[in-house]
Amino acid sequence: MSTHPAPLIVVIERNPVARRRIERVLGVAAGLEPVAAVERPDEAEPLLASKPALIACDAQDASRALGWLSERLPFSHLLVWSTANSPELVRNALTQPRFSHVIGWPGFSSMPRPWELAMVTRRLLDPRAKAPALSELLGWGATVMEWSPRTSADRDRAVAGVREICAQAGCSPRLAERVAEAAHELLMNAMYDAPRDARGRARYAHDRRQDLVLEPQEIPTLRLGTDGIHLGLQATDPFGALARHHVFEGLARGLEGASDNTPIPGALLDTSRGGAGLGMLKLLTASTVLLADVDPGRRTEMSVFWELDTSPRELRGMPKSIHFFER
């Protein structure tokens, strides 16, 4: 355990090997600021007087940490890792705006994904920092392709291009199809749901089956990147209309439709209220990491990630990561 009297970050993790690794990653991401890593919440209690900027813990300690945020640490952030898909955690994010990050920790991994830990830590500690480019979230030497579809036909060509590039990059046919479906969903959101008129009303969402020709200022960007081990897909629109509750409420309803022993199934989603939540669940189901980055009124960037060596069966049962950033 770190003995620094004023830790910027407090880590709570019972696994000693994972705890040391998480402490190192978060400390480096914070610019070598002090990190206190402890085994249990009781050991963290004396450290809270320093008002740490970030509490990072396992899901089993999330309830305790959420209580600290509500009662004693109104300006601290919470980061949680979990080995299961928990609708309770996602529901908690609806009521605690400083809790917007759940990292899925696959059972075969020795710790939560380091790049997620580092990304969340650095961005929470410096909220004005520029969002990382897709290539920065992949390994060095990654290749990134880009499309700017204006019409429905352009959208279909972009989706076909994603499928083709996935195959060239060594994706299995099933994964290539899964990524292409995610690309279609991302572009439907960016092209039909996102555009707003001068009064802030959706322009095209009333009919997602219509052939579309966007105005030049409405055109989104789709990016596909891979380093041969990981693959990322990202869509950016110039509107920033995605609200926090769209993400977490829709995902919570979807996760509540699955039992502890059942992979996240789109068929079990309560679709009675439709909307963005359904699209969010489709994207989460198809991938391992879902990242939403919103600059209200200016930009929404949705990213999803895969690990290329994960089989479809493993993917269905893996705990999912959810991240929401808002400027």
Q: CA 179, CA 5: separation in Å to the nearest integer?
A: 47
38 lies in the same domain as 150: no
Residue 291 lies in a domain: yes
From first to last of its 327 residues, what are the pLDDT tens digits of the chain? Answer: 445 558 999 999 999 999 999 999 999 999 999 999 999 999 999 999 999 999 999 999 999 999 999 999 999 999 999 999 889 999 999 889 999 999 999 988 999 999 999 999 999 999 888 889 999 999 999 999 999 999 999 999 999 999 999 999 999 999 999 999 999 999 999 999 999 998 889 999 888 888 999 999 999 999 999 999 999 999 999 999 999 988 998 888 887 765 444 444 443 344 333 444 567 888 999 999 999 999 999 999 999 999 999 888 888 889 999 999 998
Residue 236 lies in a domain: yes
Nearest to 90 by CA among 318, 326, 320, 325: 320
Residue 4 lies in a domain: no
Find the domain containing 116 and state its range: 9-125
82 lies in the same domain as 182: no
138 lies in the same domain as 119: no
Nearest to 219 by CA among 161, 299, 280: 299
User: DSSP secondary structure string, 67-126?
Assistant: HHHHHT-TT-EEEEEESS--HHHHHHHHH-TTEEEEEE--TTSSSS-HHHHHHHHHHHH-
Residue 292 lies in a domain: yes
Give pTM, 2 decimals. 0.91
293 lies in the same domain as 319: yes
Q: Look up residue 82 and give its two tokens.
A: 């979990």
187 lies in the same domain as 253: yes
Query: What residue type is 161 in one-letter code?
Result: G
105 lies in the same domain as 206: no
Helix axes 16-29, 114-125, angle to 10 degrees: 40
Domain end marker among 86, 104, 125: 125
- For position 69, which CATH number holds? 3.40.50.2300
DSSP 190: I
